[in-house]
Amino acid sequence: MSNLRQRFYIENCPIRGEVVHLEEALHTILQKRDYPQAVQILLGEMLSATALLASTLKIKGRISLQIQAQGTFKWAMAECNHLGEVRALADFEQDPRFEQATDSSTVLAALSQPVLFINIEPEFGERYQGIVPLDQPTLAGCLMQYYDLSAQIPTRIVLASTEERTGGLLIQLLPRNSEEEQQFVDEDLWPRLIMLTQTLKTEELTDLSANEILYRLYNEEDVRLPEVEQLQFGCTCSKDKCINALIQIGVDAVKETLEFQNPIEMDCQFCNTRYEFTAEEALGLFGEHLS
Ligand SMILES: [Zn+2]
């Protein structure tokens, strides 16, 4: 059950949902940095949320959630692509408020002028960025509000995380076409599902398997489960991206860097991979040689 995403449908109803769990992937991400407990929980929830939202995309590419703030907490981001690869990172300075917090809501409440971005980056085609007001006490609350208002797809999201495991559940009432509108629908279904979903406890979301969660919540409904999808930690860094970054900063900046660092070292913050460029390689990018 450790790193997976389980889609579910309710037979003959315009309802779809997902349950995600991350364990090893979360562990891999959190061990790369020294995060306070509450920031670990926030990153865990952001990871579950991106894995849930990625399932709603029909394109190849990636979706990321990014919190930006002023003050000691600068940013946090989590990302999931169509292959089910996830990664996350946060940047902040030491702050007793984050050290003392034991949940993500306390961290969110302590942020100064925070903004949450939803970024969708298709492999081909235009990028999309949505801005989500961080004016609800929880990340799940902010995302639900965004979907209800901006996407106009009634959505319930539940997120939970510990330092060990993170889990999430998303359920959506899908739009129906005119033909489907004619069919008999159970008008109580959505309110009933909302009520059932609200009974899910944090520890159930992190500790129970997807099947157990879905059975516990919706055993009165006719739930259908397609094949489960695997998720894993994955980083999209590459030597080519480092080359592009060097070209971007320009030959003068590269020469300056070489004066105090030769070879040039570029570390990926997400996965700690180090990319090195000798003076010859770095200058060669600009068609120049060592003099
Ligand atoms: Zn990397």
Q: What is the DSSP annotation of 56-69?
A: T--SSEEEEEEEEE
Residue 266 pairs in a beta bridge with: 275
Closest CA to 217 of 173, 174, 170: 170
Q: What is the DSSP annotation of 117-150?
A: EEEEEESSS--EEEEE---SSSHHHHHHHHIIII
What is the per-residue pLDDT across 51-67, written as a single tens digit (0 to 9) for each? 999 998 888 999 999 99
* Residue 33 alpha carbon to ligand 1 centre in Å: 14
What is the per-residue pLDDT across 184-209, written as a single tens digit (0 to 9) for each? 667 788 999 999 999 999 999 999 99
* Residue 36 alpha carbon to ligand 1 centre in Å: 22
What domains can you pick out in the chain, each with its CATH number? 4-233 (3.55.30.10), 239-284 (3.90.1280.10)
Which pLDDT value is given to residue 288?
Answer: 86
For residue 181, is pLDDT > 80?
Answer: no
Looking up tokens 């050290």 gives 99
Q: Give helix then strand counts, H and E, for the chain.
A: 12, 14
* Residue 233 alpha carbon to ligand 1 centre in Å: 10
* Residue 274 alpha carbon to ligand 1 centre in Å: 8
* Residue 267 alpha carbon to ligand 1 centre in Å: 8
- Helix H or strand E segment including 248: helix 239-249
* Residue 270 alpha carbon to ligand 1 centre in Å: 5
Report whether 157 contacts 194 (CB < 8 A): no
* Residue 229 alpha carbon to ligand 1 centre in Å: 23
Which pLDDT value is given to residue 262?
Answer: 92
Which pLDDT value is given to residue 86?
Answer: 97
For residue 290, is pLDDT > 60?
Answer: yes
* Mean confidence (pLDDT) of the chain: 92
Spell out the residues 6+ positions from residue 80 whose beta carbon is closer than 8 angstroms to its own: 47, 50, 51, 53, 54, 62, 63, 64, 86, 231
Which pLDDT value is given to residue 182?
Answer: 61
Query: Strand 232-233 and strand 85-92: pairing?
Result: parallel
For residue 180, is pLDDT > 80?
Answer: no
* Residue 269 alpha carbon to ligand 1 centre in Å: 7
- Tokens standing for residue 269: 């913050």
> b or e along 60-81 (b: 16 or more beta carbons within 10 Å of the residue's beta carbon)?
ebbbbbbbbbeeebeebbbbbb
Q: For the whole model, what pTM was predicted?
A: 0.91
Which pLDDT value is given to residue 76?
Answer: 97
Over residues 212-224, mean pLDDT: 94
Which pLDDT value is given to residue 286?
Answer: 92
* Residue 249 alpha carbon to ligand 1 centre in Å: 20
Question: First vs last Cα of the chain: how many Å apart?
Answer: 58
For residue 213, is pLDDT > 80?
Answer: yes
* Residue 181 alpha carbon to ligand 1 centre in Å: 47
Which pLDDT value is given to residue 179?
Answer: 67
Which pLDDT value is given to residue 41?
Answer: 96
Minimum mean pLDDT range among 62-71, 166-175, 181-190, 240-249? 181-190
What is the per-residue pLDDT across 87-140, written as a single tens digit (0 to 9) for each? 999 999 989 988 899 999 999 999 999 999 999 999 888 999 999 989 899 999
Which pLDDT value is given to residue 43?
Answer: 97
Phi and psi, residue 68, nearest 5°: -120, 140
What is the rounded CA–CA span in Å between residue 234 and residue 245?
A: 20
Q: How many residues does the chain have?
A: 291
Report whether 42 contacts 247 (CB < 8 A): no
What is the per-residue pLDDT across 253-268, written as a single tens digit (0 to 9) for each? 999 999 999 999 999 9
